[in-house]
Structure 1
Amino acid sequence: MPAHGCYEWVAMPATETKNAYKQPYFISPTDGQTMAMAGLYEFWRDRIVAEGDDPAAWVATCTVITTEAAGRMPRACRWSSSRTAGRPGSTGATRTPPRSARC
């Protein structure tokens, strides 16, 4: 899944003047390029919406695959702008992604 970055939350201990809290840190590629995270997505039809061509009938859902490092850190992958597997309309959606996009 393409992304500009992700957040890592670091637990900060309580002090005499502050309660404990979690400090967010935005993590992104140093070169400003798009990063890729391992994930799954699916489009499904909302059965409550009437049959027809109503775009609201379709819901897109996704999940990011995480690693054990730091609890819930997204699994980063190498990204190639030429990657087509998994893009809507791509014939490679069900095939193994090219080597440049594998995790």
Structure 2
Amino acid sequence: MERYDKASLNAANVPLPEFSQNEGSLVATLKTLLFFTVLMIMLPIGLYFSSKVYVFEGTYGMSNRDSYFYAAIVAVVAVHVVLAMFVYVAWNEGSRQWREGKQD
């Protein structure tokens, strides 16, 4: 095998890509994803049980069977709200990064 020295390998003088800006956006994206993942798990489950016990059985005096049904509807609506919020945040974050990249 031939041996190459550093000068001959870097003869093209190709600038190295800067990853520091990409690392910051990657960390921000992962934090956003982690936040919405936790929210997607905790919010529907919490709303299901709290609305079942406190709202439908406690306040409205519904039977156990009816409160299951309406609490499930509340949980499904919560899932859709979290998904819509995630899409909105991801869309705005992507367009912001695109605008910043375009101005450079």
Q: If the length of structure 2 is used for normalisation, what is the TM-score?
A: 0.22
Compare CA radii of gyration and give the structure with the larger one: 2
Q: If the length of structure 1 is used for normalisation, what is the TM-score?
A: 0.22
- Structure with the bigger RCO (C-alpha within 8 Å, sep 6+) is 2
More strand by share: 1
More helix by share: 2
